[in-house]
Amino acid sequence: MNVLIINGPNLNLLGVREPGIYGSRGFESYLTELRQRFNDINIDYFQSNHEGAIIDKIHEVGFSADGIVLNAGAYTHTSLAIADAISAVKTPVIEVHISNVHKREEFRHHSFLSAVCVGVICGFGLDSYRLGIESLIGINKK
Ligand code: DQA
């Protein structure tokens, strides 16, 4: 199975950025752990602070990868263009968030992406990504 994790804007600062909300662990060390845990799956990783780069990546892998785990950061709440990219491709996309966006400011309650993703996982800290991969494994077994 080939899976891609995409992290959007400001998620390159995980570990340093607002640790009270996002935790104090950097993503790279978590990714190493994920790859060890799912050692029979190829997990690629892409992070960008740019909307167009995220869209290009979805187009690039969206007809060949078995799944995408996407944390689009704040673009979740603003980007019709990323929603259209998800709709345009064949690969199933799982929307994930580290924090429980529904417990936070009202502007984080709406997602342009949820309706075009297979499902949404939020509020489990970095474990949201593991749950995202588990859900892709579940879909692939069907
Ligand atoms: C986030 C939640 C978003 O509202 C926020 O803009 C982020 C991170 C999360 O993982 O909890 O950048 O997607």
Q: Calculate helix-pair angle for 80-88, 51-61, nearest 10 degrees.
A: 10
- Looking at the predicted structure, is the pLDDT value of residue 122 above 80? yes
Residue nearest to atom 7 of ligand 1 (CA): 73
User: What integer pLDDT is reported at residue 142 of this predicted model?
Assistant: 67
Q: Give yes or no for residue 12 CB within 6 A of ligand 1.
A: no
Mutation choice for ligand 1 from 10, 25, 99, 109, CB with most ligand atoms inside 8 A: 99
Question: Which residues, in sequence order, are CB contacts of 135 under 8 Å at separation 6+?
Answer: 94, 118, 119, 121
> Which residues make beta-bridge pairs with 97?
122
Q: Is 0.95 surpassed by the pTM of this model?
A: yes
64-74, pLDDT tens digit by residue? 999 999 999 99
> Which residues make beta-bridge pairs with 5?
45, 69
> Minimal CA–CA distance to 5: which of 89, 53, 92, 71?
71
What DSSP designation does 106 have? G
Mutation choice for ligand 1 from 18, 76, 107, 114, CB with most ligand atoms inside 8 A: 76
Q: Give yes or no for residue 132 CB within 6 A of ligand 1.
A: no
